[in-house]
């Protein structure tokens, strides 16, 4: 099909399927679990009633939208970010200084030699695509036109901005055996410090997108993707994930 590409904004041959969450998070998930799939989880239902309702099991192909990106933007531009993310999280062949390492596991996991540009643009691409999606599960990911245009340009030209611009923060639940690592929570609008943003949960991570860093204590800033190449995810204490989800994210 030929039509308007949302990224380059040209009339091009369009990709039939553009996944919102990259497929490798589904089928390369050996880092987190052995099942090679994510289970879509209704976070809103849980917050309202306490019911842990799985929307869809064995979601191996992931959520996708049709005809939103051209073949080049999906298969070349964004694929470059996704290829790096797949290697970063899942490749056993990376040199030790390139791997995601567990250090001081009671507090965080980290990698000190991250490609800031590629990793941040990977996660910004997820946010941007979710804001375009017609899928009901992404219905709360609503970004105003001006910010969405800034994100589009960042992705198109490969500019991740500064670490204070659309900062991406991470917590992880990899050490909590009370919750399966194959859950995918309903993303929702949230606040972080004095900033609006969005929270996603998948693959053992809680990912918080914010519009800035105003009102955040300095000690939390270390858990965003940093320009010096540091990726650090704060550890959710084992057994605390469900209560954190319910108490922290309840609106």
The pLDDT of residue 115 is above 80: yes
Name which of 127, 120, 123 is nearest 188 in CA terms: 127
Residue 218, pLDDT > 50, answer: yes
pLDDT in tens, 225-234: 999 999 999 9
**Residue 28 predicted with pLDDT over 70:** no
Residues 6+ apart with CB under 8 A from 124: 151, 154, 155, 160, 166, 168
Mean pLDDT of 64-83: 95
Least confident of 48-57, 90-99, 178-187: 90-99
Residue reference for tokens 């309202």: 48
Q: Per-residue b/e over 112-143, b at no fewer than 16 CB within 10 Å? A: eebbbbbbbbbbbbbbbbbbbbeeebbebbeb
Q: Tell me the average pLDDT across 70-84.
A: 96
| Residue pLDDT, tens place only, 140-190 | 999 999 999 999 999 999 999 999 999 999 998 878 777 766 677 788 888
Lowest-pLDDT range, 44-48, 116-120, 198-202, 245-249?
A: 245-249
pLDDT reading at 17 higher than 80: yes
Q: Supply the pLDDT for residue 86.
A: 86
Question: Which tokens in the block code for residue 39?
Answer: 């289970």
How would residue 62 be classed by pLDDT, with cut points 50, 70 and 90? low
Mean pLDDT of 49-69: 72
What's the average model confidence in pLDDT over 131-145? 92
Q: Beta 2-4 vs 11-13: how paired, if at all?
A: antiparallel
Q: Is the pLDDT of residue 89 over 70?
A: yes
Tell me the sheet residues that pair with 101. 110
Q: Which residue has the higher pLDDT, 100 or 212?
A: 212
pLDDT band at residue 31, thresholds of 50, 70 and 90?
Answer: very low
**What is the spatial distance between Cα 238 and Cα 200, in angstroms, rounded to a whole number?**
19
What average pLDDT is seen over the chain? 84
Cα distance between residue 208 and residue 199, in whole Å: 5
Provide the token pair at 156. Answer: 């198109």
- Cα–Cα separations (whole angstroms), residue 247 to 26, 38, 47, 210: 28, 23, 9, 19
CA distance 26 to 31: 11
């Amino acid at each position: 099909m030929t039509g308007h590409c949302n990224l380059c904004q040209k009339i091009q041959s369009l990709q039939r399927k553009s996944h919102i969450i990259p497929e490798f998070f589904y089928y390369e998930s050996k880092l987190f679990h052995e099942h090679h799939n994510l289970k879509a989880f209704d976070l809103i239902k849980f917050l309202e009633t306490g019911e842990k309702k799985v929307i869809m099991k064995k979601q191996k192909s992931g959520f996708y939208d049709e005809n939103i990106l051209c073949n080049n933007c999906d298969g070349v531009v964004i694929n470059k970010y996704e290829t790096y993310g797949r290697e970063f999280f899942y490749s056993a062949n990376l040199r030790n200084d390139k791997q995601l390492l567990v250090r001081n596991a009671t507090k965080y996991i980290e990698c000190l030699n991250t490609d800031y540009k590629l990793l941040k643009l990977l996660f910004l691409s997820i946010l941007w695509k979710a804001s375009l999606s017609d899928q009901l599960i992404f219905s709360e990911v609503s970004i105003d036109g001006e910010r969405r245009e800034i994100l589009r340009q960042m992705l198109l030209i490969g500019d991740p901005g500064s670490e204070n611009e659309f900062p991406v923060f991470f917590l992880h639940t990899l050490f909590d055996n009370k919750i399966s690592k194959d859950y995918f929570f309903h993303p929702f609008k949230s606040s972080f410090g004095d900033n609006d943003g969005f929270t996603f949960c998948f693959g053992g991570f809680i990912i918080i997108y914010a519009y800035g860093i105003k009102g955040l204590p300095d000690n939390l800033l270390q858990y965003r993707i940093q320009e010096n190449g540091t990726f650090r995810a704060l550890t959710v204490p084992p057994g605390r994930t469900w209560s954190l989800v319910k108490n922290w994210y309840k609106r």
